[in-house]
A and B are shown apart, each in its own frame.
Chain A
Amino acid sequence: MKPFLALVKRDLTLGLRRKSQIYQPLVFQLLVVTMFPLGLGSGAKTLALIAPAVIWILALLASLLTLDQIFKNDYDDGSVESYVLSSSPLSMAVLAKVLAHWLLSGLPLVIFAPVLGVLLHLPTASYPILMLSLLIGTPIFSFIGSIGSALTMSLKHGGLLLTVLVMPLLSPVLIFGAGAVVESALGNSASQHLMLLSGLLVLSFTLVPFAAAAAIKINLE
């Protein structure tokens, strides 16, 4: 357990010193969301209609901005080698990396979501479901992203490849996440969508550490 905590602590310290990993996704979201009223040119009703989809797509795109960093820096400076050679399992290191990435890049998106909701006239009643769905959904971005990052870490410009690899895998998350918010905006129960989303989270929690560990080993060969 100690190596796990040490790795999380190190990554959080690094993230708080680099800062860009935290504020870049938020600034990106804010800039894009302000373009929607300008581009659409129509009133609050249309905005409220598209708000769930826009917020969820922005969360997805904002996550993609930082996903390649999960293992890229560590590969460049040799830290990845130390995870492989460590006596604790490589999958635990993956889990620690994912947790740290989510705390730095995913959690801020969840907290920031109501601001986007206000800008897009999302019905107030949907805010709890919006935040809850993002709370379940954004860790899945970090999980699946870690596989993509492990596969592309040795490439100089692997960002686009990572997006192509990861996007299709993340589309169910988008469907159920945005779906939950749409249902709640219509006054229906969102529990069905949220449960499916939770299922995806459990699935990625159990499978991804092994998949990403295998991807790291392939990449070092």
Chain B
Amino acid sequence: MSIIIATELSCQRGQFDLFRPVTFELNHGQSLLISGPNGIGKTTLLESIAGLRAISQGELVYQNIELSKNKDKWFDDSFFIGHKTGNKKELNCLENLSLFLQIQGIDISQDQAEEALEKVGLGGYEYQFAGSLSAGQKKRLALARLLLIKHPVWILDEPFVNLDVAGCEWLLGVLNNHLDNNGILIITAHDNQSIRERTTQELILEMAQ
């Protein structure tokens, strides 16, 4: 029995279906790449899976229980990073990282946060305001959370955007490590061959009729 089972899942914007219903199953150590043209609804689908939006059609089951009845467990186990990162420009990197996770109920020490920033390539920027970082550095600041969480399910919306080559390689390593440790990954990414080769399934969204 798979951990996550989605049957005939579809999302609506207004009254219109965005894409043809999709079906997939995911188990420990497996990953799903969602692709398709711009505007097809990749982000909407990811947000629905994460629990930010209601699922308009179909069924999503997590550990044998329908997701809407199992929300607390799902929120405990899944971690979502979207386009909007939730970082505050008036807070420095260290504050952003640790307060964000603490608000989510994840306790981390100052040392852990500093170590994560070091690993993500923001060593020396600990006390710099997030507002003064470049777009790529902001993305790195958000992705540093991945080093500090223990959630088995990661849901990432375009995590490679704005990252440089070294950043992409670093992220790929982190994702590989997560999957090797029996994690589950649901991801959208454009034009990234390495992640396409690594993911176990690819889901191409098609226009609804």
A interface residues with partner B (beta carbon < 8 Å): 2-3, 6-7, 9-10, 13-14, 17-18, 76-79, 81-88, 93, 220-221
Q: How far in angstroms is the closest Cβ of chain A from B101?
A: 9
Q: How far in angstroms is the closest Cβ of chain A from B167?
A: 20
Contact of B105 among A2, A9, A13, A79 (CB under 8 A): A2
**Please, which residue of chain A has its CB at the minimum distance from the CB of B98?**
A6
Note all chain A residues with C-beta closer than 8 A to B50: 85
* Contact across chains for B53 and A82 when beta carbons are under 8 A apart: no
* Contact across chains for A14 and B85 when beta carbons are under 8 A apart: no
B interface residues with partner A (beta carbon < 8 Å): 50-54, 72, 75-76, 78, 80, 82-88, 90-91, 95, 99-100, 102-105, 107
* Contact across chains for A77 and B105 when beta carbons are under 8 A apart: no
Note all chain B residues with C-beta closer than 8 A to A14: 88, 90-91
* Contact across chains for A77 and B104 when beta carbons are under 8 A apart: no
* Contact across chains for B86 and A82 when beta carbons are under 8 A apart: yes
The CA-CA distance from A7 to B100 in the complex, in Å, is 8
The CA-CA distance from A7 to B53 in the complex, in Å, is 23
* Interface of chain B: mostly helix, strand, loop or mixed: loop
* Contact across chains for B53 and A220 when beta carbons are under 8 A apart: yes
Contact of A81 among B80, B91, B102 (CB under 8 A): B80
* Contact across chains for B84 and A10 when beta carbons are under 8 A apart: no
The contact sample of 9 A-B pairs, CB cut-off 8 A, is: A10-B91, A13-B95, A14-B88, A14-B90, A77-B84, A79-B88, A86-B104, A87-B76, A221-B53
* Contact across chains for A81 and B100 when beta carbons are under 8 A apart: no
* Contact across chains for B90 and A82 when beta carbons are under 8 A apart: no
Note all chain A residues with C-beta closer than 8 A to B87: 77
The CA-CA distance from A84 to B104 in the complex, in Å, is 9
Given A77-B85, A78-B86, 4 other A-B residues pairs in contact with their CB atoms under 8 A: A2-B102, A6-B102, A76-B84, A84-B51
Note all chain B residues with C-beta closer than 8 A to A18: 90
The CA-CA distance from A7 to B87 in the complex, in Å, is 13
Q: How far in angstroms is the closest Cβ of chain B from A74?
A: 8
Q: Which of B87, B91, B95, B102 has the most CB of A within 10 A?
A: B102
Note all chain A residues with C-beta closer than 8 A to B52: 81, 84-85, 220
**Please, which residue of chain B has its CB at the minimum distance from the CB of A221?**
B53
* Contact across chains for A86 and B103 when beta carbons are under 8 A apart: yes
Contact of A77 among B54, B80, B88 (CB under 8 A): B88
* Contact across chains for B105 and A85 when beta carbons are under 8 A apart: no
Decide: A79 near B86, CB < 8 A? Known: A85-B50, A86-B75.
yes
The CA-CA distance from A86 to B76 in the complex, in Å, is 8
Note all chain B residues with C-beta closer than 8 A to A17: 90-91
Q: How far in angstroms is the closest Cβ of chain B from A22?
A: 14
The CA-CA distance from A79 to B99 in the complex, in Å, is 11
3 nearest A-B pairs in the assembled complex, by CB-CB distance: A78-B84, A6-B102, A78-B86
The CA-CA distance from A160 to B104 in the complex, in Å, is 32
Q: How far in angstroms is the closest Cβ of chain A from B49?
A: 11
Note all chain B residues with C-beta closer than 8 A to A93: 103
Decide: A2 near B107, CB < 8 A? Known: A10-B91, A10-B99.
yes
